[in-house]
Homo-oligomer: A and B are copies of this chain.
Amino acid sequence: MWKLGVKPMSETNAVLIGRKPVMNYVLACITSFHGGAKEVSVKARGKAISRAIDVVEVVRRRFLPDVKVSKIGIGTDQLPSQEGNQASNVSTIEITLRR
């Protein structure tokens, strides 16, 4: 079970949301649960945050109704700017799904 970059070594897998279509990340979550994970952590920052919510809603409403949102955390990451100016802040979210 080494598909889609999901490593079932620990009980909690992380799915980092980027710019790909929502269904790619939905599949990564489902694969992770089917691989035996008890928890999947969906992480995103910046504009990808709304896509992270989409992923979670599709997973639990369409595919895995027994999966619950156990925790939602928000925060801020500091990004060093490329021009050596002031660092810019970007918002983050981490949604923990539990089966």
Question: Do A57 and B89 touch (CB < 8 A)?
Answer: yes
- In the bound complex, residues from chain B placing their C-beta under 8 Å from that of A53 are 49, 74, 91-93
Quickly give the copy total for this chain. 2
- Is A54 interfacial (CB 8 A cutoff)? yes
Where the two chains meet, the residues of A that have a C-beta atom closer than 8 Å to any C-beta of B are 46-50, 53-54, 56-57, 61, 69, 72, 74-76, 89, 91-93, 95
Lowest 3 A-B CB distances belong to which pairs? A49-B50, A53-B91, A72-B72
Other contacts beyond A50-B91, A53-B92, A69-B74: 8, CB < 8 A = A47-B47, A47-B50, A49-B49, A49-B53, A53-B74, A53-B91, A57-B75, A57-B89
